[in-house]
Structure 1
Amino acid sequence: IDIFGILMEYEVGDPGHKALDHKAAKKDESHGLLHWQLGGGDTTEHIQTHFESKMEIPPRRKAPPPLNSPSKKKDLEGKAKSHRNIKLLEDEPRSRDETPLCTITHWQDSLAKRCICVSNIVRSLSFVPGNDTEMSKHPGLVLILGKLILLHHEHPERKRAPQTYEKEEEEDKGVACSKDEWWWDCLEVLRDNTLVTLANISGQLDLSAYTESICLPILDGLLHWMVCPSAEAQDPFPTV
């Protein structure tokens, strides 16, 4: 390099610091030998010393407290309490009890038939090619479908077994003849039609165009039926 005059006037870093400065040769021989063995040179030595000195050393993490420390015991107690607050739910949702005789009023029967009729019409229209695009763009229809997916679908809390060997007689809670819950048969048909309609328009349904009040019920309902362990979720549609 000295013969051909290469890099004689080349400067790196501060002015006056030449790459082949002869003053650098007076450094400790052991340090220079180690630096050259690592593949470095005069230029890389300057770069390393220039930048490595400005590197920020990351702060040391605190060692975790021992198991016998009071803070560790408080954390374990808090986790234990959170596990106790978890409620176990029954696999089967709350449903009606079949009774030998149940009567409903005329207006209840008429209202149930109207709802089923409209639901069947919407379901049938979703099978027609081209209707999926128009139906998926209607926010009112998408909102109603989202409300019907999990309407009155609730899993009761699982009852713990009694400590004694005596079997307590459970009260027979028949809801089939209740005046407020006469819609069980109608609700099952509406839910089946809703799922079929969503399946038919799912190819054109873009939920990003709707607000959360419309999107969340549909997503919540579909995710629930995917993991629901009830027999109703595992069995095929009875009307198909």
Structure 2
Amino acid sequence: ANVAFLASPAMPSRALNGALCFMILSISFVAHSAFTKFNKASIYLSVTTYAMAFLYFIPSYILYYSSIKSISKQTEIREEIIDRAKHNKQDQAIIPDYYFPPVLHAGPSLDTFNSEAMSRYYGIDLKITAPGFFDYSRAFNFKPLNINAKICNNVYIKSLWIYKQQMGIKTFVIFEFNKNPADSLDENTAMFISFKTKDGKIINADVDKKTFQIDGRWLSGRAINGIDSNEL
């Protein structure tokens, strides 16, 4: 069926869904034959099937499920902001765009197009801001570490969240500031933070001055490996 796209200047990702469905059906017939007969070919096929399941399908499913769960939490935050704005008779609701945590390949990610029809659907003008490169729903659904680390003058980090992403492969830290640090620091000033573990190890990391205002809160985040909140 995909041969029809040979003359097309582009092929959308969804066009592969039909071929994928037929491939899954074909594999199911072959797998049934392999699992009901015991011979050399069926053993090879069974080993290959189990290897594909453990090495690709299961990790892919876990990552995708985790990403969809994160999107669900982000949707709740967006809905709360919109409902509050409508209740307060505001003309506009400012909501963050979705952050889709990485999966094994780009296919399952969300469509990044934000249609103007969304404003008509919700009955209020929507301004969608950049989400940053971290799962901001963590800052709304999990208990933070309150640190009150002073940066300069009247700028300080109020709290932070440490969480694992991609089945624990990466560790992310979300910082919440009392205000936008970029308004108080010049462009040549960099911010750093040091984490001290219980065994005396020091982990240094830079903190991005670029923050994202989400529901009136100034948040920034980045990946910092080697950090465990239970060991600080």
User: What TM-score results when the alignment is normalised by the length of structure 1?
Assistant: 0.21
More strand by share: 2
- Relative contact order, higher structure (CA 8 A, sep 6+): 1
Query: Which protein has the larger Cα radius of gyration, Structure 1 or Structure 2?
Result: 1
More helix by share: 1
